[in-house]
Amino acid sequence: MEGCAIETVSETRTRVILHLDMNSFFASVEQAHDPSLKGIPMAVAGNPKERRGILVTCSYEARALGIYATMTVGEAKRLCSNLVIIPPDHEKYRTASMAVFNLLRSYTDLVEPVSIDEAFIDITAIGGLTNAVTIATEMQQRILRELDLPCSIGIAPNKFLAKTASDMKKPMGITILRKREVKSILWPLPVIDMHGIGKSTEKKMHALGIYTIGDLAQKDELIIKSSLGKNGLQLHKRANGNDYRLVDPEAAEERKSIGSSTTLPIDETDLDECLKTFNWLAVKVADRLNKTQLAGTVVMIQIRTADWRNQTRSRSTLNPVYKENDIYKEAVGLFNKHWDGEPVRLLGITVSNVVPMNELHEQLSIYNFEKHAKEEEIEGLLSELEKKFGPGSVKRANK
């Protein structure tokens, strides 16, 4: 009986999850490399010499003046004429990111990076709730002392609450969010403030009379499922403070992949025919990603030559990809760079390091913000046209 009792306690032991979120990561890395940038209004921006360039991130000194990411350089300069603007150095940011994750792994192997500047850490076995604040404080201070980078940490019994908690105090905050506090702290907030809900989902929820996180938590599950599907049910559970996902240290490095390959009818040497095949493969992979609601940060191509020699080439993307145009662009870029003109027998595309779409955390970059802002405008226009003329009445032209 004693053995059974011990086993039961072990199985039901409350997990303690940390969510670590680096503060103004790109700007902080630049300040760590150049101390003269500390304590002043500064920002990282694409095309810093052009007034229409977009701010990727900015220091807290700049934020205090009303400057924020997604502003144009011109707008920011009007608020602060002496704002210092630095062009981005993504290799520098990746190196700093790896250093942070390696430091976290000195505490436990249960570290799951989820983007370039955030990670989940399960500390249940190395201290649990009793020592959670001590451990989080030590991690935070070591990252500041050894890497000169600030971060905020959320402490909670699951991933969703930990991620929510890490946003509550910035910069350099440590916040505990208990499940019993969900009703008083989260339920009054607008539903758009909940992680995993964007503008599109917000509109659908408003149509159901859901305006706050509390409204979502208390809405009938059948209504949620019929209107929002499985993703809606997941959001409903999280609005009630429930999230059973484990911290998976393998998730970032070796998540399952989605791919497709095909043997060509002849040993192909014509570039245009190879590109047509890649276009077809990109459509298939994008379709599978959409059906499984996944996106990935590594695009790999496979080339098998007529003499059965296999080659694989891959490229990591700053942000997860799932659209056929983005997959095709990355695959063709790799093919043009590495194909030496030998006859090709088989071609393939694989997207790996996949994550659920509702967990995407996009690190804004100079390469994608303006594009995505425009995409959002186009999607809105298409939606309005379809409302007027009917579903499927308007389609995008293929690029």
Annotated binding site for Mg(2+): 21, 117
CA torsion sign for 398, 272, 367, 143 is positive
CA-CA distance, 37 to 22, in Å (whole number)?
A: 18
Alpha-carbon gap, residue 90 to 327, rounded angstroms: 21
Q: Using CB atoms within 10 A of its CB, is residue 9 exposed (0-12), middle (13-18) or buried (19+)?
A: exposed
Amino acid letter, 250: E
Sheet arrangement for strand 310-321: 258-268, 344-356, 294-305, 310-321
- Are 172 and 131 in contact by the 8 Å Cβ rule? The answer is no
Q: What are the DSSP E strand ranges found in 62-168?
A: 84-86, 111-115, 118-122, 151-156
The structure tokens listed for 156 are 């909670």
Local structure of residue 358 (DSSP, 8 states)? G
Contact 21, 152 (CB under 8 A): yes
Query: At CA 352, angle to CA 258 and CA 337, rounded to 5?
Result: 105
Which residue in the block uniquely carries the two structure tokens 């695959």?
331
Structure tokens at 322: 């799932």
Q: Are 372 and 318 in contact (CB under 8 A)?
A: no
As to burial, measured by CB atoms within 10 angstroms (0-12 exposed, 13-18 middle, 19+ buried), residue 367 is: middle
* CA dihedral of residues 110, 113, 118, 120 (deg, nearest 10): -30
Spatial strand order of the sheet with 55-58 comes to: 55-58, 42-45, 84-86
Identify the bridge partners of residue 311 per DSSP, sorted by sequence position: 303
Catalytic option among 61, 118, 324, 359: 118
Identify whether 118 is a catalytic site residue.
Answer: yes
271-292 and 324-338 helices, crossing angle to 10°: 140
Which are the catalytic amino acids? 118
